[in-house]
Amino acid sequence: MIEPLARPDQSVVIVGAGLAGLRAAEAVREAGFPGRVVLVGEEAHEPYDRPPLSKAVLQEEGHERGIALSPEGALAGLGVELRLGRRAVAIDRKAREVELADGERIAYDRLVLATGSRVRALDILPPGAAGVHYLRGLDDALALRAALKTGGRLAVVGGGVIGMEVAASARALGCECVVIEAGPRLMARAAAPAVSTFLHKRHLAEGVDVRLGVTVAAAEPSASPGAWRLRLSSGETIEAQAVVVGVGVSPNIDLARDCGLEVRPEGVVVDGFGATSDPAVYAAGEVALHLNDLYGRHDRQETWAHAAAHGQHVGEALVSPTQAYRQPPSYWSDQYDINLQVTGLATGDTDVVRGDPALGRFLVFHLAGGRIEGVSAVNAVRELRTAKRLIGACPADLEALADPARELKIEA
Ligand SMILES: Cc1cc2nc3c(=O)[nH]c(=O)nc-3n(C[C@H](O)[C@H](O)[C@H](O)COP(=O)(O)OP(=O)(O)OC[C@H]3O[C@@H](n4cnc5c(N)ncnc54)[C@H](O)[C@@H]3O)c2cc1C
């Protein structure tokens, strides 16, 4: 491992002014680094929170004014130099310099790549085409909100977390909404079957037209501007005034790959302290295929909690590396008045439902090989606090686990 940072003549450059990049910058300072810290972001906005983009920002005019991740002036107070609206285009590892699109070169002793992800695009519904929306950044959310305000029918391609949150927001705004999902159930990657079923029923009850097991075979603009005619693999045709595509993201690994760092399609490979194959270059947050010491394997997470925790961990590791990264994955989603919280694995080889989904409030324990590896909580944040402590336990009595009348106990 490279020597930790300590001197005032040293500098840290962080590329990516999202949650992970911001937390890394703050942590470097909190750990006492006295040198230069530069945070470079290609978006023109100061670091902001993405989760509201598919929820309150779509539903409520002006909500975007309250999503800054850092109070005004706080970064300047920490002595963090912000370069916003500036894209890093190359890394010269020999000279230890980052090059920005406008030609500026910034020298670093340590570089942190916190470049996050970008949306996966469909060729037949290209980003930038009138009436086609992808949702990653604030500007995307504002454009989508403007389109939803005009009403009509919204087609959501992809029944993942973002797609279903957008569907709920569209209904809240009174838009008709159809969801087109290729898989056999909603949110299959992020949620257990019991949770998918619960959410599916609620979306139907809210008037969302959910089509499972179908893809968009062809798409063509309709006569009215921004509207589309989608031909589904089932042969049906859907007319929509606007289309949102939410078919996943891919990590922004280009900078790392182009300068010869070890990357895989799943992300920039880093150790338990965030170091890449070059000990002077680190990666944090959603872009990092990171070693999670809790499981002893590499993983990439697309969640707020991970971006925050990993960004902070990597920032600290630059100055005072103590422990390798150890965090269970976790995320939440809000759809209508439903709050879903997932800690650990989101699905197991056996899922035990505790409580009655029909009552709108339940837990699901996810077991793998007899061990509880994760818990999902639907409108049950309080119960989740106790349930989380059971992660790692091997319950002998699954009936007791499923019965909300019986106490949740950690067995010896
Ligand atoms: C709409 C939406 C809703 C979400 N809702 C939830 C939720 O409810 N719960 C949950 O747990 N998670 C949610 N997430 C996920 C969570 O917000 C992300 O996992 C988190 O923001 C990732 O943070 P990050 O800093 O690693 O990457 P990002 O937030 O992607 O930040 C990376 C930044 O780097 C910039 N960048 C990239 N390349 C360059 C370059 N070459 N030069 C300069 N800058 C560059 C990008 O423009 C971006 O600003 C949501 C995400 C989205 C998009």
Query: In the prediction, which pLDDT does 408 show?
Result: 87
The Å distance, Cα 230 to ligand 1 centre, comes to 29
- Measured from the Cβ of residue 184, the count of other Cβ atoms closer than 10 Å reads 10
Taking only the tens place, the pLDDT of each residue in 254-270 is: 999 999 999 999 999 99
Query: In the prediction, which pLDDT does 410 show?
Result: 67
Give the amino acid at 126.
P
C-beta 109 within 6 A of ligand 1 = no
Query: In the prediction, which pLDDT does 2 show?
Result: 87
Atom of ligand 1 nearest to the CA of 53: 1
Domains and CATH numbers, the chain: 11-118+249-319 (3.50.50.60), 121-245 (3.50.50.60), 337-402 (3.30.390.30)
The Å distance, Cα 229 to ligand 1 centre, comes to 31
Query: In the prediction, which pLDDT does 252 show?
Result: 98
C-beta 231 within 6 A of ligand 1 = no
Query: In the prediction, which pLDDT does 1 show?
Result: 75
* Mean pLDDT of the 281-306 span: 97
pLDDT band at 163 (very low <50, low <70, confident <90, very high): very high
* Mean pLDDT of the 125-132 span: 97
The residues that bridge with 133 in the sheet, in sequence order, are 244
For strand 371-378 and strand 362-368, is the pairing parallel, antiparallel, or unpaired?
antiparallel
The Å distance, Cα 411 to ligand 1 centre, comes to 39
Taking only the tens place, the pLDDT of each residue in 318-344 is: 999 999 999 999 999 999 999 999 999
pLDDT greater than 70 at residue 411 = no
Mean pLDDT computed over every residue of the chain: 97
Burial class (CB in 10 A: 0-12, 13-18, 19+), 176: middle
C-beta 252 within 6 A of ligand 1 = yes
C-beta 409 within 6 A of ligand 1 = no
pLDDT greater than 60 at residue 143 = yes
Query: In the prediction, which pLDDT does 204 show?
Result: 98
C-beta 331 within 6 A of ligand 1 = yes
Taking only the tens place, the pLDDT of each residue in 179-213 is: 999 999 999 999 999 999 999 999 999 999 999 99
- Measured from the Cβ of residue 2, the count of other Cβ atoms closer than 10 Å reads 15
